[in-house]
A and B are shown apart, each in its own frame.
Chain A
Amino acid sequence: MSATTILVVDDSPFASQQIKDIVEGNGYKVVGYAKNGEEGIRLFDELKPDITILDIIMPGIDGLETAEIILKNAPDAKIMMLSSLCDAGTLEEVKSIGLKYLVPKPWEDEVLLATLEMLVKN
């Protein structure tokens, strides 16, 4: 069975490396990294990943706007949002664009993997 592919969009190389370290070996393969929303949209179109992990706070267009643009062109895209901002209002914003998952930074590895598993199954 081939690995589930992941695109990581986060301006932090720390977060990107942590995600790679956690997910690879658990049935996932990180196929691309983007440091901002614009690059993330371009890589999403080019790589067609199974799952996209998007940070919310980034220079340029933020993660929520990036997700909206991706979903406009690919309504079935599976997206998980990441953020150090994890309050009720941010979760509402995530839900308002049709997404279900917001993982807080710093994350617990088990939470990240469980969330990815839910995305794969749904």
Chain B
Amino acid sequence: MTNSEVKQIFDASFLDITKKLVRLEVSRMDKIEDEQKDSLFIQGYRDKIETKGAVNTTVICQFPKPLFQYIISTMHGGTSPAEEEIPLYVNEYMNIICGHAISKINNITKTKSRLSVPEFYGEEEPLDFSAERDKEQYLAYESPYGVLQVYLFIE
């Protein structure tokens, strides 16, 4: 399976599962220049998940604050969860989207890859992935709450 095919499967999962899980239709943004990527993420949160096995991928999602708040409050029935539970909601969002994608990949390739437990990074926590940019596949989605950015690093 090519990197482009892996990217397409993750893309479909982000679109479908975001709609199903948090009732939000996001639209893919094409042709984002490198210098634009940083300016799309001013303040917000990140979540990271890895796939290990036949397909080794690191997926990092960047959520602007308003989008992040929309996702967790929708998953929590319209209100904000307790502070200490917030990471668990966004982790579940990532787990479901990436689990859906990797299941499709496993079924198509008849191979086995597994998901790690997602890791949440708060506003102040550094997550430097600039060195990996040569392996990067990038996806961005426009929503009324800001741009969801997804970095896929496929080994």
Chain A residues within CB distance 8 Å of chain B: 11-15, 17, 57-59, 83-90, 104-106
Contacts and interface: CB of A to CB of B under 8 A. Distances in A.
Interface string B100-131: 10111011001110110100000000000000
Given A12-B92, A15-B92, A84 B99 contact: yes
Contacts, number: 65
A9 to B, nearest CB: 14
Interface residues of B, number: 29
Nearest to A11: B88
B60 interface: no
Interface string B80-104: 0100010011011001111110111
A57 B85 CA distance: 17
B49 to A, nearest CB: 10
A86 B98 CA distance: 11
B112 A89 contact: yes
16 contacts: A11-B88, A12-B95, A13-B81, A13-B85, A14-B76, A15-B92, A57-B95, A58-B117, A84-B98, A84-B99, A85-B99, A90-B103, A90-B106, A104-B103, A106-B20, A106-B96
A87 B103 contact: yes
A14 B117 contact: no
Nearest to B72: A14
B103 A106 contact: no
A12 B98 CA distance: 15
A35 to B, nearest CB: 9
A105 B112 contact: no
Name the residue among A15, A58, A89, A105 with the largest chain B CB count within 10 angstroms. Answer: A89
Nearest to B77: A17
